[in-house]
């Protein structure tokens, strides 16, 4: 839901877009982080809302309240959830790609997923060295994206439940990252 000042529903959100029913699970791992990403997917002047939801999918909703697409990251696996979604131009084409991690209780739950601005799978990488520490397996927190080694290519840094930090490098040169970490930036201000 989007609210205007005074806590009134924004014009297009009088009839709310709905998700599927949440996946039932135990207390650990926790079932998802309700933090949306605000990013311009279409290249116009109005941003869209992208969010991972504990029903096993990532949704994109347009500024008028209409669902644009749904990406099924769980693929039917029980108790599989996703981190917050971040956005960066990983292909150097001035369009954002959407990046998130998956996590759960089952072996192999940890994956790093990159989808296009249209909700199509670009990469779905199973994490190496997955184990368990009793809290879960995989990437529970939003990835962070930056050019950490100053070579003109962005890196994706993820923290896992089970084995520490992993760093992945984009293959194309780009420094454009409109929503590079959880809550939008280092100050967590949503901008």
How many C-beta neighbours within 10 Å does residue 1 have? 10
| Torsional sign, CA 116, 98, 161, 35 | negative
Question: Phi, psi (5° rounding) for residue 184?
Answer: 95, -30
Q: What is the pLDDT of residue 25?
A: 58
Task: Determine the Cα–Cα distance for residues 125 and 112; give it in Å rounded to an integer.
Answer: 5
Do 187 and 48 meet the contact criterion of CB atoms below 8 Å apart? Answer: no
Q: Which two tokens stand for residue 174?
A: 């780009």
Instruction: Find how far residue 152's CA is from the centre of its chain.
Output: 23
Q: What is the pLDDT of residue 76?
A: 86
Strand (E) or helix (H) holding 124: strand 121-126
Phi-psi region of 36 (alpha: psi -120 to 50; beta: other; left: phi over 0): beta
Inter-residue long-range contacts of 146-149, CB under 8 Å, 24+ positions, other chains counted: 146/177, 146/180, 147/175
Residue pair 19/31 in contact (Cβ under 8 Å)? The answer is no
Tokens (6 digits) for 154: 């962005």
pLDDT of residue 184: 78
Question: How high is the pLDDT of residue 22?
Answer: 65
- The pLDDT averaged over each successive group of 10 residues in the chain (191 residues) is 77 72 59 81 92 92 92 90 94 93 88 97 92 81 93 93 90 84 76 61
Residue 30 structure tokens = 């926790």
d(CA 125, CA 58): 17
């Amino acid at each position: 839901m989007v609210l205007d000042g005074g806590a009134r529903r924004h014009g297009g959100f009088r009839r709310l877009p709905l998700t599927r029913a949440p996946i039932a699970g135990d207390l650990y791992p926790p079932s998802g982080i309700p933090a949306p990403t605000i990013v311009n997917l279409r290249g116009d002047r109005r941003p869209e809302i992208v969010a991972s939801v504990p029903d096993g999918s990532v949704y994109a909703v347009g500024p008028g309240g209409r669902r644009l697409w749904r990406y099924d990251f769980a693929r039917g696996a029980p108790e599989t959830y996703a981190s917050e979604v971040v956005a960066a131009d990983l292909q150097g084409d001035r369009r954002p790609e959407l990046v998130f991690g998956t996590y759960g209780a089952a072996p192999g739950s940890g994956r790093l997923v990159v989808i296009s601005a249209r909700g199509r799978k670009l990469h779905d990488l199973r994490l190496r060295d997955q184990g368990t520490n009793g809290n879960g397996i995989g990437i529970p927190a939003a990835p962070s994206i930056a050019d950490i080694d100053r070579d003109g290519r962005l890196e994706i840094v993820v923290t896992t439940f089970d084995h520490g930090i992993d760093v992945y490098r984009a293959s194309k040169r780009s420094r454009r990252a409109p929503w590079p970490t959880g809550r939008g930036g280092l100050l967590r201000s949503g901008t």
